[in-house]
Amino acid sequence: MSETTGKYSITMPRDIAEAARARGGPSGLSAYVAAAVARQIERDNLNELITVAEAEHGTITDEEVQALRDQLHQAQAQGGANAA
């Protein structure tokens, strides 16, 4: 995360805030919310990248996604076998 911080006021449903506070543990609500926002920004950036790539190269099909998943699983299985 960034080295500098600022104090902000946000509004959210009470049940969500309480659940986040409970899960925040020793790091606290602010750290939990900051991590969640950072993950969302990463997802937003990835979605923008996918949109640009699909505009340039066409939509990725389910079959292409599955083929890449299969390759990843094979590589992971081989890596595990090589590590032994």
Q: Give the model confidence (pLDDT) of 32-52 as tens digits.
A: 999 999 999 999 999 999 999
- Inform me whether the pLDDT recorded for 72 exceeds 90: yes
Q: What is the mean pLDDT of residues 8-31?
A: 94
Confidence of residue 79 (pLDDT cuts 50, 70, 90): confident
- Inform me whether the pLDDT recorded for 1 exceeds 70: no
Exposure string of 4-18, with b = 16+ CB inside 10 Å and e = fewer, is: eeeeeeeeeeeeeee
At 72, list the tokens.
Answer: 């990843």
Residue 2 φ/ψ, nearest 5 degrees: -65, 150
In the chain, the number of structural domains is: 1
In a domain, 50, yes or no: yes
In a domain, 36, yes or no: yes
The percent of residues in the chain predicted with pLDDT above 70, rounded, is 92
In a domain, 9, yes or no: no
Q: Hey, what long-range contacts does 58-67 have (CB within 8 A, 24 or more apart)?
A: none
Confidence of residue 3 (pLDDT cuts 50, 70, 90): confident
Q: What is the mean pLDDT of the chain?
A: 91
Rounded to 10°, the helix 28-57/14-24 angle is: 100
In a domain, 68, yes or no: yes
